[in-house]
Structure 1
Amino acid sequence: MNWRNVYALGVKELWSVLKDPVLVVLIIYTFTLALYSVSKGANTEVKNASIAIEDLDQSALSERLDQAFLPPYFKEARRLSSGQDIDTLMEQGKVTFVLQIPPNFAADLRAGRSSELALQVDASAMSQAGSGAEYIQQIVAQTISEYFGLDLSTKVSLVTRAYFNPNLDTTWFNAIMQLVNNVTLLAVILTGAAVIREREHGTLEHLLVMPLSASEIMAAKVWANGLVILVAVVLAIFGMVKGVLGVPIASSTVPLFVLGTLLYLGSVTSLGILLATLARTMPQFGLLAMPTFVVMQLLSGGTTPLDSMPVLLQHIMQLVPSTHFVAMAQAVLYRGAGIGIVWPQMLAVVATGLVFFWVAFRRFRKMVSS
């Protein structure tokens, strides 16, 4: 491999990207507006949840319960009249929670008798259903305790301390994970589109009549497109993630994350070239790339913990470089881990990347020779 040829071809790839306004706009949008909108818009904590109350007691206690659900966790409670069809209301998706207060609720508690509240939950709103029910339970218990002037808590209390994200702010989590997902998405699209574009425009044949090898052509596409994404990642960390979104990332952890991203780009850009060799046209490449990206995004540990997946699937995902990159990114940017902790993940990224590069190179060389 002649590295001067690789450098010259890579410069050509950079100019191809910079002269394509659609790709430039896509890169800017992906690491700015798309990153911001997902980080701010996709919340998993309880926020502005809709709740309705069917008050069959009509007591001072039930009135206080009605006023206990306040923003930003809940919208203003909707009062339901007796006999109103709750099932229809929930089927229409107008409320997520319905709290039913039985008759003589306050009188039974005052007399020392037990009483039950009914809480109906629309479980299709998965991001709010589970934690929202716990919020409601805590609010009801606290309101009743304050109303009767009694401490209804148990003798053993659970004190919770949240590390690395003490405010449980979804924005902090979404910003980093969306940045990782964008790296995967753009790396696959840019390198794959570069191969398809060369073939559709006929410029690949021009390269083949020159004293160039398939390895030089492929290596140039990997480093050039990887460099574009790496620069965009660094600018996004300091400009969007730390600057606009205010995620408290220690500047000392950024170099290690950039190094891990560099290693990861070698494997994921090879994946883009591999998919491009399996497709003959740009639409076919899109149909191959999107399901691949979705699977990598959902099963790499960024959306749901890897430990919650089936054991067989956990073993399979160890062969995918995005799994190790997500683990490395979370450890470095969330917990401030050093290289002494994340070196196994970085080594796994390199190992899986070499396999991806080797398979992609064989496919690319076969495509070039044919």
Structure 2
Amino acid sequence: QQPDALPLGIKQRLQLAVAVIHKPEVLILDEPTSGVDPIARDQFWQYLIDLSRNSGVTIFISTHFMNEAERCDRISLMHAGRVLAVGSPHDLAAEHGDGSLEEAFVAYLTEATAQTAESTAEAQESPLEIAPQPRATIGGRHFSTRRLWAYTRRETMELLRDPIRLTFALVGPLILLLAFGYGISFDVENLPYAVLDQDQSLESRTLLANFEGSNYFEMEEPASSEADLVNRLKTGEIVVGLEIPPDFGRDLLAGRQPEINLLLDAALPFRGETAAGYVNGIAAQYMVEQFPSLITRPYSVVTRMRYNQSFKSVYAIVPSVFTLVLTMIPAMLTAVGVVREKEYGSIANFRSTPVTRLEFLLGKQGPYVVLAYVNFLTLLAMAVFLFGVSVTGSVTALLAGSLLFVVATTGFGILVSSFTKTQVAAMFAAAVISIVPAVNFSGLLVPVSSLSGGGQAVG
């Protein structure tokens, strides 16, 4: 049976049960005993008194029954929207009603009615004056830090009370950094390789020793034949195969140019190209160390990695994730926070208050700026202590620039909220619109220094 179909007395009991089921600290009841029989009314009040005295619940009640008002600790007598008197029932009854609260209420009503009649008579006798046209208050309102702080505090409390949004805001960036930091890597290390050494000379063994001492390759069981080498390459057991021909050492000592057969698994082009470069580098280093007289170049090229000497992908990926995460998640959260007001209809409260648009927007943005900056500090700590990516530049410039960045990204979220009406639309719009420039211009895929034109300005 639906609540609307219940009798009034039963409906009042149901409303009281729903009001107290979550054990509130403050309970506001409007005419809770109207339509209830006297016996049930006494049971209502016994329960309310028990809540007040034993559970510490503060209860506000509106009633027309004076015998119910006498049970309250403090009452306010009202008439026509005006407060006539405030105090304990005993004091009010003793002051005007000779001990009767009902007579006191009648006395207060009589006084209020007389004052109203006098005011009406004076108003009729006085000449009618045309009041000056009031000035528009919307444009003339000044910026108030108190109103701004009130909205900021309100948004902060709503955010803290929403565990889903709070978890997404705090844990989401950490998960993305872990996924990108460990999941995306262009490092080519520990490549399994096998060797078919048909020479077995000192020169061939010295060359192969250079491969064994490299971190880029991992030695597997030597191949028994060329067909075995090819089959193992097809099955994926190895990625690199080296075939040293007979008389390799003799031809090398004689000044001839013997050839080494290099077999590569190029299913992944980047890995295959990098592996070929490693093999050529080891072979060139072997020739320089063992046969410098055979090197006819009149010059020497020395390559130095200036900013990433170890050539690790983590030093490029992790800082790029900062931009991606701090662009996408703060924009999504801010957009949802504003659109949530539209969807729930609570934005009507803003229109009926003296709060200006700027105060409202800054108040909504403030908590997300702080939250995004906390995310940045957490990501920075993970990058330094977990991934070993140190800050080599100015820490002050990094902190200041990051603050400006999160202010801009949260402001972008507010911009997205201006043309979306639902939280789902706001989340997807903020994600899609922000992720494209974040990926293309953050250095995640293409170095920022290599961008040109408009892309360089955005990056």
In the alignment, is the contact (CA less than 8 A) between 2:193 and 2:238 conserved in 1?
yes
In the alignment, is the contact (CA less than 8 A) between 1:121 and 1:129 conserved in 2?
yes
Aligned to 1:355: none
Shift of 1:146: 5.3
Shift of 1:60: 5.0
Of the candidates 381, 401, 407, which is equivalent to residue 266 of structure 1? Answer: 407
* 2:439 maps to 1:298: yes
| Cα distance in structure 2, aligned partners of 1:85 and 1:151 | 30
* 2:315 maps to 1:315: no
Over alpha carbons, which structure has the higher Rg?
2
| Cα distance in structure 1, aligned partners of 2:434 and 2:291 | 56
Aligned to 2:27: none
Of the candidates 180, 185, 188, which is equivalent to residue 43 of structure 1? Answer: 185
In the alignment, is the contact (CA less than 8 A) between 2:194 and 2:221 conserved in 1?
yes
Aligned to 1:195: 338
* 2:255 maps to 1:112: yes
| Cα distance in structure 2, aligned partners of 1:287 and 1:124 | 35
C-alpha distance 315-145 of structure 1, shift in aligned 2 (>3 A): closer
Matched letter for residue 183 of structure 1 = L
CA shift digits 1:202-231 (9 cap, x unpaired): 333343343334433322222221121113
CA shift digits 1:275-301 (9 cap, x unpaired): 334444444344433433432233215
Matched letter for residue 453 of structure 2 = H
| Cα distance in structure 2, aligned partners of 1:290 and 1:144 | 54
| Cα distance in structure 2, aligned partners of 1:306 and 1:123 | 28
Of the candidates 284, 290, 293, which is equivalent to residue 425 of structure 2? Answer: 284
TM-score by length of 1: 0.70
| Cα distance in structure 2, aligned partners of 1:209 and 1:124 | 65
Shift of 1:42: 3.5
Unaligned runs of 5+ in 1: 324-370
| Cα distance in structure 2, aligned partners of 1:88 and 1:201 | 64
C-alpha distance 280-103 of structure 1, shift in aligned 2 (>3 A): farther
Matched letter for residue 160 of structure 2 = L
Answer 1 or 2: which has greater helix percent.
1
DSSP-derived class of the 1:83 partner: helix
In the alignment, is the contact (CA less than 8 A) between 1:45 and 1:131 conserved in 2?
no
1:1-370 to structure 2, matched below 5 A, reads 1-32=143-174, 34-36=176-178, 38-55=180-197, 57=199, 59=201, 61-70=203-212, 72-77=215-220, 79-80=222-223, 81-84=225-228, 86=230, 89=233, 95-123=238-266, 125=268, 128-144=271-287, 152=295, 154-237=297-380, 239-249=381-391, 253-303=394-444, 304-309=446-451, 314-318=452-456, 320=458, 323=459
CA shift digits 1:10-58 (9 cap, x unpaired): 2222222222223333333345454355335533333223334455555
| Cα distance in structure 2, aligned partners of 1:198 and 1:54 | 71
DSSP-derived class of the 1:116 partner: coil
| Cα distance in structure 2, aligned partners of 1:318 and 1:75 | 41
Give RMSD over aligned pairs: 3.5
| Cα distance in structure 1, aligned partners of 2:303 and 2:423 | 51
Matched letter for residue 227 of structure 2 = G
Matched letter for residue 19 of structure 1 = R
| Cα distance in structure 2, aligned partners of 1:121 and 1:278 | 53
C-alpha distance 139-266 of structure 1, shift in aligned 2 (>3 A): same
Shift of 1:178: 2.1
C-alpha distance 97-20 of structure 1, shift in aligned 2 (>3 A): farther
Shift of 1:65: 4.0
Shift of 1:137: 1.0
In the alignment, is the contact (CA less than 8 A) between 1:99 and 1:120 conserved in 2?
yes
C-alpha distance 223-280 of structure 1, shift in aligned 2 (>3 A): same
DSSP-derived class of the 1:114 partner: coil
Unaligned runs of 5+ in 2: 1-142
Shift of 1:154: 3.7
Matched letter for residue 226 of structure 2 = S
DSSP-derived class of the 1:68 partner: helix
Matched letter for residue 364 of structure 2 = K
In the alignment, is the contact (CA less than 8 A) between 2:149 and 2:363 conserved in 1?
yes
C-alpha distance 240-62 of structure 1, shift in aligned 2 (>3 A): same
| Cα distance in structure 2, aligned partners of 1:40 and 1:108 | 46
TM-score by length of 2: 0.58
| Cα distance in structure 2, aligned partners of 1:27 and 1:38 | 17
CA shift digits 1:319-340 (9 cap, x unpaired): 63xx2xxxxxxxxxxxxxxxxx
Answer 1 or 2: which has greater strand percent.
2
Aligned to 2:114: none
Identity %: 25
Aligned to 1:348: none
Aligned residues: 314
C-alpha distance 274-113 of structure 1, shift in aligned 2 (>3 A): same
| Cα distance in structure 1, aligned partners of 2:319 and 2:377 | 12
In the alignment, is the contact (CA less than 8 A) between 2:194 and 2:220 conserved in 1?
yes
In the alignment, is the contact (CA less than 8 A) between 1:230 and 1:258 conserved in 2?
no
C-alpha distance 179-298 of structure 1, shift in aligned 2 (>3 A): closer
